[in-house]
Chain A
Amino acid sequence: MSIIENLKKGTTELLLLLLLSREDMYGYQLTQEIAARSENLFLIREGSMYPILYRLMDKGYISDRKEKVGVRRVRVYYHLEEKGRKYLKQVKSEYESINKGISLVIRSVE
């Protein structure tokens, strides 16, 4: 697995939680929002996003609800729970700390 893939794997969870902290969203919307907000620099494929969402649900950080759209389509909206907000705070702080550390190392050798 490339370094980009590894970085993405570690940060996708954070980005999904961040977006859900603003509003409830469905799968397709999450991928589109991340692509748009990152100016297409961070693209998540659906296959790798859903296992992360399911894991967050199993841990009780997010919940889901189904909404019927049109005749036959069903959208699954994900909602950030209070437990998830606390977890997001922790993950965000860990990310900022590691990001700062990496930046310091990069700057020190440049």
Chain B
Amino acid sequence: MNHQHYLDAWLKKYYRRTSRLLKCPQKTRQRLMCELQSSVDEFLEDNPDAAPSDIVQHIGTPDQIAQDYLTSLDESELQAQISRVRTTRRVLVVIAIALIIGAVVFFVLYNNWKGNIYYFNDKIVYEETDETNND
């Protein structure tokens, strides 16, 4: 594998991990990732033989980028971020509870319905009558 292919594969993982670690709204994440990629491109243009370690030294590890993002937020933005996370968590908990209740209700109803199926073992006896003879 030549240098360019190796670097491309490494960068793909680097961007994916950075994007996953960034705790911010989708729109901001997309924008930030776009600018980070542009900066990496600029850096590689200035340093064509740069290795992944050079990129990390210049831009930071994915964890550092995510951490830097959070530490540079001001108090109100941080509060908004925390409240967004809490809301998401609450919605997920409500969905999980609704799913559990739904599953229990379904299970109970299904068992009741199954119990209400009656099996008839009655014998049907056909009696032959001699109606034709009576006529």
Chain A interface (Cβ within 8 Å of chain B)?
A: 1, 5, 9, 12, 26-29, 31, 45-52, 54-55, 73-76
Contact = CB atoms under 8 A, between A and B. Distances in A.
Nearest to B69: A47
Contacts of B65: 45-47
A24 B59 CA distance: 22
Interface stretch (B26-34, B102-110, B116-124): B26-34
Given A5-B71, A9-B72, A45-B64, A51 B35 contact: no
Given A45-B60, A46-B60, A46-B65, A51 B77 contact: yes
B59 A54 contact: no
Interface residues of B, number: 24
Interface stretch (B37-45, B87-95, B125-133): B37-45
B71 A9 contact: yes
A27 B69 contact: no
A53 to B, nearest CB: 9
Interface in B29-80: 31-32, 34-36, 38-39, 41-43, 59-60, 64-69, 71-74, 77
Q: Is the interface of A mostly helix, strand, loop or mixed?
A: helix
Nearest to A74: B38
Q: Which 9 A-B pairs have the closest CB atoms?
A: A47-B68, A47-B65, A48-B68, A28-B42, A48-B72, A28-B39, A51-B72, A45-B60, A47-B69
Contacts of A1: 71
Contact of A46 (B31, B41, B59, B73): B59
Contacts of A29: 42
A76 B106 CA distance: 54
B75 to A, nearest CB: 12
Nearest to A30: B39
A74 B71 contact: no
A1 B70 CA distance: 12
Nearest to B73: A51
